[in-house]
Amino acid sequence: MDKVEQIIKDLKEIGVVIDSWDDVFDDFDPRPFNERTISGDFIYELKRRYKETRKGGFIITIHAPLALKDPKAERMVTQRLKKHFHHKFLQRKKEIIKTRIRGGVFVGIGIASLSFLTLATYFKFLSRLTIEITSIFFMPLGWFGIWEGLSKLIDTSPKFLQEERLFEKLSKTTYRFQYIEEKPA
């Protein structure tokens, strides 16, 4: 089996049924559809379904009543969803980078604190009493900075990493629309 066949085999379909475009867009938002925010319930449902099919790529199929069929609306919905999820992806990525930068700053402060104490003790440019008093503050600060900083650098929140991957996939996935003919009651 070649690589393309394996990718196609691994593709999973996530199906979501909607009754109206208000199921995709926030119905509390009075703006036109092309400006509305994406519904929190819709995003929650996609996240829930993603957890079930985490590995491999996927296609999102939106099942809707035949009355909603409109190629222009489909393009607009697809563009809005991809734009929204790309924006969320960039936000998560920015938060992860910010956390890691803070971790680097913590490590730097920790190393500087411990280095200052070591140099002050070795070269004795401060009196013994001053070194003892400053070590009460700088020793815990140094070790805390190093360990907390390393924690931020290495152990980034798994939730942020998962959401970053999810939003990246949702911004790049294929959105299909299938229309269901409504049956008379």
Determine the pLDDT at residue 22.
Answer: 86
Answer whether residue 6 shows pLDDT above 90.
no
Q: What is the pLDDT of residue 117?
A: 95
CB 56 within 8 A of CB 12: yes
The rounded distance, in Å, linking the Cα atoms of 146 and 141 is: 9
pLDDT digits (tens, 9 = 90+) for 24-39: 998 888 888 888 899 9
pLDDT tens for 151-183 read 999 887 788 888 899 899 999 999 999 999 876
Indicate yes or no: pTM above 0.85.
no
The pLDDT tens digits of the residues spanning 39-95 come to: 999 999 988 888 766 667 789 999 999 999 999 999 999 999 999 999 999 999 999
pLDDT in tens, 109-147: 999 999 999 999 999 999 999 999 999 999 999 999 999
Number of neighbouring beta carbons within 10 Å of residue 113: 22
Tell me, what's the pLDDT at 159?
82
What's 27's DSSP letter? T
Q: In residues, how long is the chain?
A: 185
Q: Phi and psi for 41 in degrees, rounded to 5?
A: -65, -40
